[in-house]
Structure 1
Amino acid sequence: MTSPTASALLAGHRALVLGGGVAGLAVSCALRRFGMAVDLLEQAPEITEVGAGLQISPNGVRVLRALGVDPHAAGDRAAAVELRDRDGRLVTRLDLPADPGFFLCHRADLVRVLEDATRSAGTHIQLLQKADTISLNADRAEVTTSVGASHQAPLVIGADGLHSVLRTALNGAAPPFFTGQVAWRAVIPGDGGPNVAQIFMGPGRHLVSYPLRGGTLRNIVAVMETRTWHAEGWNHPDDPASVQAAFAGFGGPVPGWLHAVQDLWLWGLFRHPVAQKWHDGHGRAALVGDAAHPTLPFMAQGANMALEDAWTLAQQLARHAQDPTRGLAHYAEARMARTRAIVKAANNNARNYHLRAPFSQVAHGVLRLGGRLSPDAALRRFAWIYDHDVTAA
């Protein structure tokens, strides 16, 4: 938790945050805990999220605790991750440490607890305020919304996602490229199974599933390689028959899960570069979350990186309260190399899940043997991600 002394370090300072998702709410809450006045602009009529699951790993859990948020209020602690082949046979199991733990969350639940925390901390949230243009001046930032409202502040923080207006203002347009993969997502009624995330690997495709809300719901994300281009974004409806056909060769519980799907959403997976400029160089603007470093979902680190950004930005501004330019520079320096490495790891995981014969048999054999000889080796491989603690300093 932030000490009483640290909580006043940014008193008298003010920021305008764009976006009411995980990144925007977390950075608002973090700044409030250091005493900064915060206004948050959200384009939607309410702070909400569509139904989908996400995973909070220990590096993100530490930030939630520092923000005064109980991770158990957002999700359930995961016991293990299981890698399975397309027939449902276990390849290897990674038992997860209990503290600080990995949590399986419904995105809407995480957003809800973060909203509660930042409202309780005193953030002023304004809805139906979609940022349209941004002007960065010597002494302030000015944001004009699509309804013609004008908002000014000494500092504007872009937490407005993939298509961030502030990212474009700082970096210019950088068109993404299609990865040749599409993803379906769905939430189905739960089966009361254990809190285990399962990954079913097949040629050119894989499926991830885990329980949510005490097993009353089950989250499904299915990814397939394809030459057919699909639009970016999470909210394109699709026919459940599409994902059933794509994964028709899979066994175990997968066919039953997919036949339980009623509402299905499809999106194309695009690769965006990590932003070259995270701040304006004059202490007036900074990026956090997907606005700075969009990532593919294959390391489950999107929300965790946003949480790390939020705390680091607030911490560096507090350390350099009289020189926000220096604070933002230290923030970017602390985050850029790490986020690039995590994005690269996610890109690599996509290939590992989609191996074809005979490479898949060899890889799965190595994983099985490694799981018997050194059960925690696979988890240790990513200790650089999970053991990181941005709140320690």
Structure 2
Amino acid sequence: MSTTPSPWAPRPGYHRSNGLPQPSTAPSALPGTGQRYQVHRESAPFAPEGQAGPQAVPAWTRPGPHSARRTGEFIARLVLALFGAVLMIGVIWIASQSASDSSVLSTAILLALVPLGLVLVVVFWIDRWEPEPLPTLIVAFLWGAGVATAISMLVNTTVLYAAAESTLSLEGAFQISAVVSAPLIEETTKGLGVLIIFLIWRRTFNGAVDGLVYASVIAAGFAFAENIGYFIRFWDSITSIFIVRGLFSPFAHVTFTACTGLAIGMSARRRSPAAWVWMTPIGLVCAITLHAIWNGVIAASGNPFAMFILVSLPIFIVCMGIVAWLRWAERMTMRNRLDDYARAGWFAPAEVQMLTTGGGRKAGKRWATTRGPQAAYAMRVFQKSSAELAQLRQQAVDGHAQGDFSIRETELLDRITSARRTFIGAE
């Protein structure tokens, strides 16, 4: 059953302005593409040099740097994920040794899931324009919950005992550990996780938002494991400790590590491939300083409500303002890059408008849903692939185009064109 399309909906045979390439009349042309599509297809490396005709072997059937890189990335994900998972289990096991019974451990884990879920909901909302690969996000979480937590726990405990022996004051040792050791070690280990992900999966880092997302997931994992230990250790006052850590300050670690993530993410937009070398320390110093101030205020005041009003809430409001600005900047970048393709005939202006506004994307999905499940799926592919295409082109504009840029661009343009053909023709 046909339905009336929404105002933005693309239509077969829509007219472009005279300044844009006109559609090819070749039978193989797909809907919504101009002459650039035919030229691009003919110049893309689909067959080995010197071969032609039906016997030519497509380039994608032969192993090359593209497949080798993906294999390497898969191995890196597997190794880092297993390493992080083992350490996370070890950290939770060590924390469980002070639990009176198994119900304490299970309850502590359930309570720790509350702030974790809250943080992840916000992170996925921030990342919804161009979502990061889920396997890499899992690696980030396990790094925070396992690697960063285990190293921090070991070093902080060592510093605590050393400070207690030198000062002969357990209270003074706790303050030294909280204000000096904890910020330095915890932010360094969490920031190292962001940097490793950046160096291995640099092609997925497209700016400050991506750095913020990975840093937030690592910090969320760290806070999750740390909260389990705190809830078990202070089980006798579990209500107050849950309010302080789970409700008043669920974004504390996220806020600190976000400084490092933003710096690394911003370095991805610099033309120099080594910009991270000097930008990462700047973000790390900010993270350590903010963390030290936070712990210092807690140690000095001892009043959770005052801490929330004077420190936590203002920092959270400022961070939300920064996030809102970053998301606006990301949307503008996406619009500019898709406009490049629109001028070449790949998108209609109404499509660019739809793809770069929250209301437009929702309207597009609603419209496609009325045309059936196949069209709805095609619209999701269309929106996701368009976002990837915009990010790919932005990398080239920033001077970071990879050797397989043409191949990836062709794959995305083919996917976009095929998806458009599907939701236009669906009934």
The question of a shared fold, defined as TM-score above 0.5 by the shorter chain, is answered with no
| TM-score (norm: length of structure 1) | 0.25
Higher helix share: 2
Higher strand share: 1
| TM-score (norm: length of structure 2) | 0.24
